[in-house]
Structure 1
């Protein structure tokens, strides 16, 4: 094997630390640098993972010709400018979810990716769980037939991180829709085969976060008064192939769960299924029998955040397609953006998920 690919991480906070084991486990990569404007976080990251090249300015990473891959683990609103800068500097890019809070930003990333001829991937780690991979194989083998309806939710009873990067729209781009909705929606669309969404009717509201005494149980702290995103969102989505989807997400909900309830159901012409139980439900019409079967699952061979990094490194090294194409992330964000628009306008929104990708130079000129 030729020399390993050099990796640099931008953003030395909590999520970056789940990526490091993947870069360290891959035979194709070597983690050599990190950047973060917070000197304490950057220094601690360097000590913990043995990274010596530490920069307060991400520009130094882009200017380093030895860096092959940039892993972006920053607040949501910083994703787009950093991804664009990395691609324009000739780097392959793995970016934490959401790839960007708006469809327009993702279109600009796709255009930059194509100009650079590099790989771009969104870190959607639930795709890399053993249960998700097993269900995907069953669906591709025809166990469900044509999928025509889905139900999906990711609901927390009282679970959020009450820091500005999550609860301030200027940094996050949204609340649980952008934060956790992106997880369950991406997984559902991927299992459905990523049909093209054509319309969404949605609601998003702040129902409990501003309640007197509301608190973030994960930190055991009061929810700040500058909370300005939704705490609940729901939608009905139609697809070009006639399929439909009901989606519900929340950080705060009077729901029967102690922590988090993440489920999806798919219904097809030959069967249905549930994830994460990984059960398949089918009918024998000749014998008038209903039967269920459970998939025999192996344990995750690697924590999914690490596994996604290993998969991306392999794709870069071997010249394979991106494991999570940006076009699929564009579908996800087009739907989530449609929910916010639907709430604002009080009507069903027709989606332009296949609108032409606008070059970033044109967007800048228009701005």
Structure 2
């Protein structure tokens, strides 16, 4: 197969450190051909820095000028939908930063168009590419936990409101920690459990810290412009009868100063703690804890990009968060926000 030509839409940090950096690790397979940003000087600077042949001020201009195989979408969440749709209409395989978009109907339209065009549409939920998740997935698929009936999902920061970007702008971002952090652990948990069918959700959100304070571990922000939740908690009920509890925060007065990203699942035969790499079960009537030795650290982002490249080259076994899974995650996020806003349980 000839070298894949990639265009990057959005010239921010994630484009530079994840997409461009990792595509360029595989020069025999991928050429980063173009970069787009609505600020032309920014696009030109990135193009010059990474020896990218072309830069444009709009994705439309890029697609009019070039025939590309891959488009990476690295814009604020609000603009994922329009750029994914444009890339698919121009017959590109698409690798979009999480989340799929702002609304579930957007994710569904992107899913349907990817099928119509017979193109790969993947989302960068890179936590499922960790060696920890890989180990736990094998353990769960072997039946070590039995039937899952309860789960705890945490994506928590004590005082980790990003002081850069648009993370506190609800219009551009769609929300706060749920749509930024929580989605990663939701994807990991759903992937581990085999994406069970969701029945309903109930959620509660709070803005108690970000709108009054202005400094944390990730920089300073303007509390007058803080428009998103800084904490959300909720319950997710599944058709199989299981229930999961979700907690996610940018700012919450917990003990831990470091970010907590964890999934705990509990079944009829055992339980697991992803962060601690432990399985709790029994053998011959005796309680048994199985702790996996620390695995060699791997770059989750590189593995995510590498698997997307492989899928584009025809490897059906490569691991991606595909368009169908992205849609399910977007439906879940939208339902959690709707429940928190209305105070009602939302049926899916």
TM-score w.r.t. length of structure 1:
0.90
SS in 2 for 1:191: helix
- Structure 1 CA distance, aligned partners of 2:316 and 2:178? 31
Question: Which structure 2 residues correspond to residues 205-244 of structure 1 after superposition, within 5 A?
Answer: 205-211=206-212, 213-219=213-219, 221-244=220-243
- Structure 1 CA distance, aligned partners of 2:31 and 2:135? 30
Counterpart check, 1:311 vs 2:310 = no
- Structure 1 CA distance, aligned partners of 2:24 and 2:164? 29
Counterpart check, 1:202 vs 2:198 = no
SS in 2 for 1:134: helix
Structure 1 runs, 4 residues or longer, greater than 6 Å off:
none
How far 1:186 sits from its partner (Å)?
0.8
SS in 1 for 2:273: strand
Q: Is this contact kept in 2: 1:20–1:306, CA < 8 A? A: no
Counterpart check, 1:337 vs 2:331 = no
How far 1:163 sits from its partner (Å)?
4.3
Q: Which residue of 2 aligns with 1:109?
A: 110
TM-score w.r.t. length of structure 2:
0.94
Show CA shifts across 1:248-297 (max 9, x none).
0000010112231111111011111101221111112xx32111112235
Runs of at least 5 residues in structure 2 that lack an aligned partner in the other structure: none
Deviates more, 1:73-82 or 1:260-269: 260-269
- Structure 1 CA distance, aligned partners of 2:14 and 2:142? 34
Q: Which residue of 1 aligns with 2:23?
A: 23
Q: Which residue of 1 aligns with 2:275?
A: 276
Q: Is this contact kept in 1: 2:235–2:244, CA < 8 A? A: yes
Runs of at least 5 residues in structure 1 that lack an aligned partner in the other structure: 352-367
Question: Which structure 2 residues correspond to residues 131-142 of structure 1 after superposition, within 5 A?
Answer: 131-142=132-143
Question: Which structure 2 residues correspond to residues 284-299 of structure 1 after superposition, within 5 A?
Answer: 284=283, 287-299=284-296
- Structure 2 CA distance, aligned partners of 1:45 and 1:222? 26
